[in-house]
């Protein structure tokens, strides 16, 4: 099936150009002219597989919409790519901290954007078992070889439903944070460098920088805070991070 993409931009020429290019890339596209219209689309239509979202819009802007979606249990796991002309490091960090999964600076080529869309979709989708029962991504996908349930302390990952739980309480987090938590819980106590985490979660996507790992670590800790489990994500000074229920 074609992936469903929601394009949100207040400028009609950009909206139309993105819709045309994504359609040519064999993706099904819906459009919205602002954040409020996007919310109406999300509440009244089948969920998109990914949202391409302009940051600077009148009314509910892209950053505000991203935070709104990440705060809703029914929409928090939809991947989001932010588009913006604001390209300095502080703005990039702000965009990722808000909950975006990727960040594309204007001006950009449609080829670059389509590549980013495909990369984020690959990261967000669960691995599909092959005919021999093995994952086609075995050896390079963090999902390969997962048991149906993974548990560390009071935290559980239900692989089939792609849910993270603290006891019986579902945890609200984005797709990248879910994948990061799943990787950590498959290897409790292991110390990971930022480079290793980049390889495991982003593969050969060279556009992703090591500091992106720190952003997603902060987002994961924030998702674990309401149930008192943020301390499970531990900093290993001079190296990276580990995950352990021994705090």
Tens of pLDDT, residue by residue, the chain (247 residues): 899 999 999 999 999 999 999 999 999 999 999 999 999 989 877 889 999 999 889 888 998 999 899 888 788 889 999 998 876 667 777 777 788 888 888 888 889 899 989 988 887 765 433 333 333 333 333 444 556 889 998 999 998 888 899 988 999 888 888 989 999 999 999 999 998 998 888 776 555 677 788 888 988 998 999 999 999 999 999 899 999 988 7
Could you give the angle at which helices 175-186 and 194-202 cross, rounded to 10 degrees? 120
Looking at residue 109, the DSSP 8-state letter turns out to be -
Say if pTM beats, i.e. exceeds, 0.85: no
Measure the CA–CA gap between 32 and 40, rounded to whole angstroms: 9
Q: Is the Cα torsion angle 142, 208, 89, 106 positive or negative in sign?
A: negative
Looking at residue 8, the DSSP 8-state letter turns out to be E
- Report which of 146, 155, 191, 187 is spatially closest to residue 173, judged by C-alpha positions: 155
Measure the CA–CA gap between 21 and 106, rounded to whole angstroms: 16
């Amino acid at each position: 099936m074609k992936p469903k993409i929601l394009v949100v931009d207040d400028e009609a020429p950009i909206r139309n150009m993105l819709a045309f290019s994504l359609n040519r890339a064999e993706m099904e596209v819906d459009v919205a002219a602002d954040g409020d219209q996007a919310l109406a689309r999300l509440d009244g239509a089948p969920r998109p597989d990914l949202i391409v979202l302009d940051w600077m819009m009148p009314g509910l802007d892209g950053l505000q919409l991203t935070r709104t979606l990440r705060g809703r249990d029914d929409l928090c796991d939809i991947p989001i790519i932010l588009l913006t002309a604001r390209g300095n490091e502080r703005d990039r960090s702000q965009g990722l901290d808000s909950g975006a999964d990727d960040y594309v600076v204007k001006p950009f080529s449609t080829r670059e954007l389509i590549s980013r869309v495909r990369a984020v979709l690959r990261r967000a989708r669960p691995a599909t078992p092959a005919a021999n029962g093995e994952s086609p991504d075995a050896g390079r996908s963090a999902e390969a070889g997962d048991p149906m349930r993974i548990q560390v302390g009071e935290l559980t990952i239900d692989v089939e439903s792609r849910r993270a739980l603290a006891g019986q309480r579902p945890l609200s987090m984005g797709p990248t944070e879910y994948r990061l938590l799943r990787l950590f819980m498959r290897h409790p106590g292991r110390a990971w460098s930022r480079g290793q985490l980049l390889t495991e979660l982003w593969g050969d996507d060279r556009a992703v920088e090591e500091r992106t790992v720190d952003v997603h670590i902060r987002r994961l800790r924030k998702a674990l805070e309401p149930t008192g489990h943020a301390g499970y994500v531990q900093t290993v000074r001079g190296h990276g991070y580990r995950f352990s229920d021994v705090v």
